[in-house]
Amino acid sequence: MLDVNKKILMTGATSFVGTHLLHSLIKEGYSIIALKRPITEPTIINTLIEWLNIQDIEKICQS
């Protein structure tokens, strides 16, 4: 079973497989930092997901 007290950093979250993985992780109660390209819109809006621009290194490091 997954540890629900962890935060996950995820790349590829806007892809077909990534979107389905996001849904599964949300159901398990994970907090997710999802990286996306600047031109890509988030595929899921949820309070457990923090979407960050993959080029924003400072914000990624702070998360």
* Tens-binned pLDDT, residue by residue, of the chain (63 aa): 555 578 899 998 889 999 999 999 999 889 999 998 888 888 777 888 899 988 888 888 887
Token pair 């621009």: residue: 53
Stated pTM of the model: 0.74
User: What is the biggest distance separating any 2 CA atoms in the chain, rounded to whole angstroms?
Assistant: 35
What separation in angstroms does the CA of 37 have from each of 3, 4, 6, 14, 41? 28, 27, 24, 9, 8
The alpha carbon torsion through 12, 15, 50, 48 (nearest 10 deg) reads -120
Q: Look at residue 10 and give its three-state secondary structure.
A: strand
Q: Where are the domains of the chain?
A: 7-62
